[in-house]
Amino acid sequence: MEPHRVSVGNGPVSFADVLAVTRHGAPVVLSEEALESIDRARAVVEDLAAAATPVYGISTGFGALATRHIPNEMRAQLQKSLVRSHAAGSGPEVEREVVRGLMLLRLSTLATGRTGIRRETAQLLADLLTHQITPVVHEYGSLGCSGDLAPLAHCALALMGEGEVRDAAGDLMPAEKALAAAGLEPVELAAKEGLALINGTDGMLGMLVLAIGDLRMLLRTADIAAAMSVEGQLGTDRVFAPELQALRPHPGQTLSAANLTALMADSAIVASHRTGDCNRVQDAYSLRCSPQVHGAARDTVEYAATVAERELCSAVDNPVVVDGRVESNGNFHGAPVAYVLDFLAIVAADVASISERRTDRFLDKSRNHGLNPFLAADPGVDSGLMIAQYTQAAIVSELKRLAHPASVDSIPSSAMQEDHVSMGWSAARKLRSSVDGLTRVVAIEVMTAARALDMRGLHPSPATAAVVRTLREGGVQGPGPDRHLSPEIEAAVSLVASGAVLAAAESVIGELR
């Protein structure tokens, strides 16, 4: 069945639209409203292009070269030269989903009728998305100011039938060949179009939206991991009671605590801790304070989502068409997006850090309340999950380095015309690594807690029992003699990343918040 088509131009694209196009290959169509807006703005640009007075971006050079007036007969070459020279990326290829997000969000701005693009150029960009033709974009090249220039220029190059792309099957080929195979014709860029195609925050914004989607899922999964750890370490759920959370009414904390309470409902293990002969007074911070950390992370993610939603409503270009005229502006500066990308890297590092601490408690016989050292079947002969925690620790250490903000840096460019930049693309690239690292750390906690629950010999809650079953069915084995551990870690990572762990718990208790 063909994926749902995403219509661009009837208002801002949504988070769901971005995910549908980037991860599920949804085709894209420009609305009639968008095409009419594009035509109106194009008429303004053509009138200005015909005038004797130079207008930046239409009849002048760019950046530090904006003082040169370009005669009419050289303006097509001006646009080609702009795209070719700016397609200067270097390094590994950027992921397909990121490039599709880059293209979709640039198309969204084109559809506002603020850029002066022609309808046939915008339509070709939509067609590339629909035919799943993905330009090759490289890791390095964007400073996050004047937009994500180099990444977007590589996409614009493909519209010209130049550069390399990957087709729907992922095969690398010249853009001209891929366009021909899809029955598409390259465009000859006209005045203003090259600039309109490359001057946006679309790369960093697309990666922000993808990260928010991932983190929303991972934070609920982190609640599952924490609940399993509290159970497996004979902790108490009393500290998560709503009347205690109400004393500090941060919304994320309230939601996380409610999740933990629901996840541990009807647990025989937790019930065993409520007897009068239990001499434990308080659980360690990594158990007791899970809602405070996970909740603060949630609140930060939702603030980032607010920024992303504002940016999705924006028309980022320079110059822009406004009320029948063209005006220069600074809306291409990526600071608002760059800051929250950095905030989220801090969130990923800290949630991973508390997850690793909960995991480590399981492995230390002085702190795991009666379980075998390292959860080994035969300690001494077997090492159990000792080195799984090493893997977590290595990732957490890396996440702490990635939490250093990119947005505090700035390197002047373009002969000091562009003398303060956001580095938002760099912030987005490292956040993707942070999200991957958090996924792995949470997965190792889940598999560790599952082994501990099996070793307790008591009945866990129905929700966490469902997670344990999902792990066992998905290739993560239970307690036993040592075996090759890496494949089981990867299986756990896959189950967390796919949402299977979350789905298992929610199949019992309903949607987590």
- Report the distance separating Cα 357 and Cα 448, nearest Å: 12
Residue type, 222: A
* Structure-token match 């130079």, residue found: 54
Which are the contacts of 160, defined by CB distance < 8 A and separation ≥ 6? 80, 83, 175, 186, 187, 188, 189
DSSP letter string over 359-419? HHHHH-TTTSSSPPGGG-SSBTTB-TTHHHHHHHHHHHHHHHHHTS-STT----BTTTTB-
- In this structure, what token pair is assigned to residue 383? 């090492």
CA distance between the termini of the chain: 31
Q: Give the CA diameter of the chain.
A: 91
| Total length of the chain | 513
Beta strands in 11-83 (DSSP E): 28-30
Structure tokens at 326: 């063209």
Q: Look at residues 140, 132, 136, 146 and name the one whose alpha carbon lies nearest to residue 24.
A: 132
What is the distance between the alpha carbons of residues 275 and 259, in angstroms, rounded to a whole number?
24
- Residue 409: phi and psi, rounded to 5, are -100, 155
Known active-site residue 56? yes
* CB within 8 Å of 71: residues ≥ 6 apart: none
Calpha distance 47→485 (Å, rounded): 67
- HEC string of 160-192 equals CCCCEEECCCCCEEEHHHHHHHCCCCCCCCCCC
User: Which residues fall within 8 angstroms of residue 48, CB to CB, at 6 or more apart?
Assistant: 55, 58, 59, 326
Residue 319: cis peptide before it, omega within 30 degrees of 0: yes
Residues marked active site are found at 56
